[in-house]
Chains A and B, each alone.
Chain A
Amino acid sequence: AQRVTQPEKLLSVFKGAPVELKCNYSYSGSPELFWYVQYSRQRLQLLLRHISRESIKGFTADLNKGETSFHLKKPFAQEEDSAMYYCALKGGPGSGNTPLVFGKGTRLSVIA
């Protein structure tokens, strides 16, 4: 079964501190992993996808197939990073039109 686990419901850090939002997944095939961010009362915005291997707003995430993890990291947190972060999974190429399976989300609060 497909499952995404975000163990932390809430993460509070001071401005300028490093941030790591944890995400573990369970999937029998070859998945695609994403991080979406939801600012207060706004739409879900795509932040990162593992196939792009890019850095957005200073965030990076590396897919670790051995540990089945896709943790989101940023070296220096900013107040504007405060939001809800969702890790999501879907089937990789060849799996068809699969919907996203989301984790429960982690609320990041960056304190000045």
Chain B
Amino acid sequence: AAGVIQSPRHLIKEKRETATLKCYPIPRHDTVYWYQQGPGQDPQFLISFYEKMQSDKGSIPDRFSAQQFSDYHSELNMSSLELGDSALYFCASSRSRGDTQYFGPGTRLTVL
């Protein structure tokens, strides 16, 4: 069965650069969630989208923005990167609001 796809798998950036992470949900899933997992930490919710509209907002820095497109894929844009942004960024999708979330493999971002 198709799973959540995230691109890229690994990304290395320097401080103050920008990064864009992409997430392709499972087909027919209309809801996307972004989570950040720092080294040795539990995943922390950043932001979610339902039917291309922002649905919920967690601990997402103002330097980050995200959107969901007409094909339901989502992009997380990160600017003015800091060393503390180094983490594993997971995307999850669900069939509808409140349904079970299925996670992608994550994008490992390293900021040097």
Contact = CB atoms under 8 A, between A and B. Distances in A.
Interface of A: 34, 36, 42-46, 49, 86, 90-91, 93, 95-105
B42 A99 contact: no
Interface residues of B, number: 24
Contacts of A102: 42-44
Contacts of A105: 42
Say whether chain A's binding surface is mostly helix, strand, loop, or mixed. loop
A90 B98 CA distance: 8
B56 A97 contact: yes
Say whether chain B's binding surface is mostly helix, strand, loop, or mixed. strand
Contact of A44 (B43, B44, B45, B50): B43
Contacts of A96: 97-98
B103 A99 contact: no
A99 B50 contact: no
Contacts of A101: 45
B8 interface: no
Contacts of B35: 99-100
B98 A86 contact: no
B100 A43 contact: no
A98 B58 CA distance: 10
Interface string B22-49: 0000000001010100000111110010
